[in-house]
Structure 1
């Protein structure tokens, strides 16, 4: 029997670890085939030469720790994504859905970052329950610390978790994976600090009686029998 596939769509390298690193490690440990697609790269002239290659190397190291089976990088320009043609993003993402036929998709919440909103829109298109998208049993949005929390209350959508994954056994793996991003890691009290990630995992866990959790807002879930993850 083929292993179930989970597709994680990340606007930038590190978003997948911040939002779903513990869940990715748990899925991989449970025999899932996890595919991570990273959409944007920090390309010149907006960013200094060499930054994109540095962060991609960090991401590949983090993915190896988490047990990611396939790492795809689309190399579209950060902060310029919304200016491009829709097909530039939707086409490659659709091809990955058709190639890997995931049963679970984790996508970014449409928060303050323009790239996150653009990738969310594309993710909603390619995960529609038509064609290869009919294989998807669960589609859920993850929160990205330092971006999701900065939406304006009442004027923009607010992240409201409706699904919590126990990452008590994998939270340390998540932290170790984020430590791979030396270029992104911040000292305390930065939102991308180790303490911030540990605190969020503890807080989300406390909401549902767990030691540590990652929380998601479910877009849709079709699970009449069996676990919500769709395996």
Structure 2
């Protein structure tokens, strides 16, 4: 589907770096083949990160986000809130859903990717709002709706078992995915951390082994249309 260059792909992400962790290979491949890709970042803000032992400004997070996407070939991006990082669950759900509805109506995607819900309150809030926004509505039809994952879903409850599995071969773009992650300098961890560049490479190799490829991204399928 990506190689046709006819898709309009909309990706909702809770934080800057989730777009690379979950969809870095997808974004690069889709842009390289001429598809229209838009990434909507839900939240940035003055957040304190324990691994840095200091707060990080919204401007720094935005800059890393833009640099990573530009490296992957994506020029279309949007930020919902610039003061809600780690407190997205405090935003009235109606306000969050309205922003998602607006993105869907304006961009008119053929594919939509949303975060797999995890223990993190921002991921949960965005997932639930996306599910509301993606409710069946006349004149809205999507070829594909799927959840992307990131390595920290190894710690989540409940597990979503009643979904399909979709794998994307990223063997030809794994190096770009890892390099795009390095654009998020503020988020880089030591090698054994789950979201270090080394672990992201290993995670893609694991998904590749599951699907007979060298490297892959796994998506959890919610809905697909046979055309």
Same fold (TM over 0.5): yes
Q: Which segment is superposed worse, 183-192 or 49-58? A: 49-58
Residue of structure 2 equivalent to 1:65? 71
Residue of structure 1 equivalent to 2:198? 195
Structure-2 change in CA distance of 1:82 and 1:132 (3 Å): farther
Report the Cα offset of residue 67 of structure 1.
1.4
| TM-score normalised by structure 1 residue count | 0.88
* Structure 2 counterpart of 1:5, from 8, 16, 19: 8
* Structure 2 counterpart of 1:14, from 17, 29, 34: 17
**Contact kept? 1:33, 1:69, Cα under 8 Å:** no
Report the Cα offset of residue 49 of structure 1.
6.6
* Structure 2 counterpart of 1:141, from 140, 147, 153: 147
Report the Cα offset of residue 161 of structure 1.
6.2
CA distance in 2, matches of 1:161, 1:200: 19
CA distance in 2, matches of 1:132, 1:122: 20
For these two proteins, the number of residue pairs brought into alignment is: 218
Report the Cα offset of residue 84 of structure 1.
2.0
* Structure 2 counterpart of 1:84, from 88, 91, 105: 91
**Contact kept? 2:205, 2:214, Cα under 8 Å:** yes
Residue of structure 1 equivalent to 2:59? 53
Q: Does 1:102 align with 2:104?
A: no
**Contact kept? 2:46, 2:57, Cα under 8 Å:** yes
**Contact kept? 2:164, 2:222, Cα under 8 Å:** no
**Contact kept? 1:106, 1:141, Cα under 8 Å:** yes
What are the ranges of 5 or more consecutive residues in structure 2 without an aligned counterpart? none
Structure-2 change in CA distance of 1:141 and 1:175 (3 Å): same
| TM-score normalised by structure 2 residue count | 0.89
* Structure 1 counterpart of 2:135, from 101, 122, 128: 128
* Structure 2 counterpart of 1:216, from 214, 219, 225: 219
CA distance in 2, matches of 1:220, 1:181: 31
CA distance in 1, matches of 2:75, 2:109: 13
Report the Cα offset of residue 132 of structure 1.
5.3
Report the Cα offset of residue 3 of structure 1.
4.1
Residue of structure 2 equivalent to 1:229? none
Report the Cα offset of residue 149 of structure 1.
1.2
The alignment's C-alpha RMSD in Å is: 2.1
